[in-house]
Amino acid sequence: MRQSLQLVLTLAFSWILVSCQTSPVGPVPESAAKPLPRQAAAPRLTLDTPIPTGVPAAGTPELTEDIVFNLLAGEVAAQRGALDEAYAHQFQAALLSGDATAAERATRLALHLNKGELAVKAAGLWVELAPEDLTARQLLVVLMLRQDENAPVLDHLKTIVRISEGKDENGFLNVMAAINRELKRESAMGLMRRLVLEFPGDPRGGYAMAIAALVDKDYTAAEQEADRLVAAHPDWPKGYLVLSRVYLSQDDKPKARGLLADAVRRFPADPFLLSAYARLLVDAKELQPAYEQFLRLEEIESEGGDASYWLGLIALELGEDEAARGHFLRLLDLDKQTDVAAYYLGRIAEKREQSRQAVQWYQRVDGGEYLAEAQVRSVRLMAAMGETREAFDWLQRMRIQYPDQAARYYLIEVELLREHGTPAQVMALFDTAIGALPESNELLYARGLYAATQKRVDILERDLLRVIANDPKHADALNALGYTLADQTARHQEALDYIQRALALKPDSAAILDSMGWVLFRLGRNQEAIGYLRQAYDKLPDAEIAAHLGEVLWVTGEQQQAREIWQGILDKTPQSEHVLEVMRRLEI
């Protein structure tokens, strides 16, 4: 029967397309209606037309003229925008045929009409015709709750749990997702508690309630639900896991760690507990204990690669390169996180001065967050081995193979040429790249920054103004232009305007705060400058910001503070050019 109805619906759509082409508006021509099988002229159905209730008795009827007529008439009405009539015909077709698809169509038409009672009626029929359809059940519950939050939905919720279990899903989470959108939090939790009582031996209900409270950031309720869950089901590992998440959400890492440590002792083979506990140890910088926990997890995981990934990273931090290599090779064997594994295998080979192997590993990285760095390292190694021409040829092949990433490959080539070419060659390459990709903000911005290093403020200004014209909210271009004008020209007031615009877009940027301090210093507003430079240095205590802050402090008489700031940088980086240059210039 279902296949026959589907065929009718398919034919209906074809017939509608033909009829719409010949008569886009108005009634269907009599000639178009004649081929439809009907026993008698059927009345025009509307939302006010009484419709019989109930589903056909056992033994679904064969495809009849009335069923065909209602299906086609419903589709024609929907095409014309007469949705009330379309609903009535689809509902009638569902009643006559016992077809759930027609009931679903009627439900969605009622939803579109915003007719809640009719939607409940159609969804109820849909559920009767397809009692195992999870979507139908969930939608019926939602519609009933929209009509009345005290609607008798508990039996439907119990059925959702049962159907979900057959799909290997947590039905309580499906229930919570359905009712949480329609009820106030207290009502939703009350209804969930009634449902949980229907399944006293199932801990997943309490788990769903704890998760829901956690998502709502009601940490007090989440902790209460999780405590209740652990007390009622002390042998269920996930209870401890959700309770630890509650602690972590409240930034109580010691409590979470203590709970997970006890749970891991109780459930030494539970992978979720092991992973959560090991990650907390990593966060606490206790790498050796974390490594041991991930080793246990790796033994349990037969196909997963999460443990091997973490083991490789931790082994690198511990200086155990050979062990790290083994873990990353295992990731490749498992076909898990292969780009990450190849990248780190390249790093290990590079550290061992096995340049050829490193290049081979780096060139196996074809996606992910390490792609750009792997490619840069690859071409640098090739150039260091005397294969500069091969490196450039490889980059050219990549541009041809991946034209949508051409700008990135040009920038890698620029970096290589900066190390192995002349400034004139670098600028020539930039000209070629921008000639090929004239609207690339990335290339224009990069050429502008490089021009600043060559004291070509004219090129910088030209390129960055083009970037800003393309993207007025490009804070980095505004900042770079403003800083360079402040640092290399006397156009300080103009520079201030650009930096103010950049700071409005990125008020927490240490680089832009540094630029603001520097331009204010150039304008003679030293105390204001110190305020901005201190903010920048607190956020990012790097050498360039330290050089600026120290210089302003020095010229305002705070020379001891300036020395302390500079010395702090030199203790870490004795050859810091930024700090040494300003000290030479001030004859310190």
SS3 readout for 113-144 = HCCHHHHHHHHHHHHHHCCCCHHHHHHHHHHH
Task: Determine which of 78-87, 365-374, 548-557 has the lowest per-residue pLDDT on average.
Answer: 78-87
pLDDT given at position 61: 54
Given pLDDT bands bounded at 50, 70 and 90, which one contains residue 564?
very high
The stretch 343-372 carries a mean pLDDT of: 94
Buried residues in 118-149 as b, exposed as e (16+ CB within 10 A)? bbbbbbbbbbebbeebbebbbbbbbbbbeeeb
pLDDT given at position 125: 92
| Residue 553, CB-side half-sphere exposure with 13 Å CA sphere | 21
The stretch 361-388 carries a mean pLDDT of: 90
Task: Determine which of 123-132, 171-180, 331-340, 513-522 has the lowest per-residue pLDDT on average.
Answer: 171-180
pLDDT given at position 563: 94
Helices 154-166 and 134-147 pack at an angle, to 10 degrees, of 160
Q: Is the pLDDT of residue 35 over 50?
A: no
The stretch 93-118 carries a mean pLDDT of: 87
The stretch 357-377 carries a mean pLDDT of: 91
Coil vs helix vs strand at 63: coil
Helices 441-453 and 406-420 pack at an angle, to 10 degrees, of 20
* Largest separation between any pair of C-alpha atoms in the chain: 107
Q: Is the pLDDT of residue 287 over 60?
A: yes
Nearest Cα to Cα of residue 392 among 374, 369, 417, 366: 417
- pTM, full prediction: 0.62
The stretch 98-108 carries a mean pLDDT of: 88
The length of the chain in residues reads 588
* Contact predicate 175/209, CB 8 Å: no
State the chain's mean pLDDT as an integer: 85
The stretch 81-89 carries a mean pLDDT of: 84
Percent of the chain with pLDDT over 90: 54
Token pair recorded at residue 364: 């196996």
DSSP per-residue string spanning 528-544: HHHHHHHHHHHH---HH
pLDDT given at position 11: 40
pLDDT given at position 559: 93
Task: Determine which of 68-72, 332-336, 369-373, 512-516 has the lowest per-residue pLDDT on average.
Answer: 68-72
pLDDT tens-digit profile of 247-284?
Answer: 999 999 999 999 999 999 999 999 999 999 999 999 99
The stretch 446-463 carries a mean pLDDT of: 95
Q: Is the pLDDT of residue 381 over 80?
A: yes
pLDDT given at position 78: 80
pLDDT given at position 53: 41
**How many Å apart are CA 346 and CA 364, to the nearest integer?**
9
Coil vs helix vs strand at 493: helix
Taking 3-state DSSP, the helix, strand and coil percentages for the chain, each rounded to the nearest 5, stand at: 75, 0, 25
Coil vs helix vs strand at 305: coil
Helices 271-283 and 253-266 pack at an angle, to 10 degrees, of 140
Percent of the chain with pLDDT over 70: 89
Q: Is the pLDDT of residue 126 over 50?
A: yes
pLDDT given at position 179: 81
pLDDT tens-digit profile of 527-555?
Answer: 999 999 999 999 999 999 999 999 999 99
Looking at 421-542, list the stretches that DSSP marks H as alpha helix, in order from N- to C-terminal side.
423-436, 441-453, 457-470, 475-488, 492-505, 510-522, 526-539
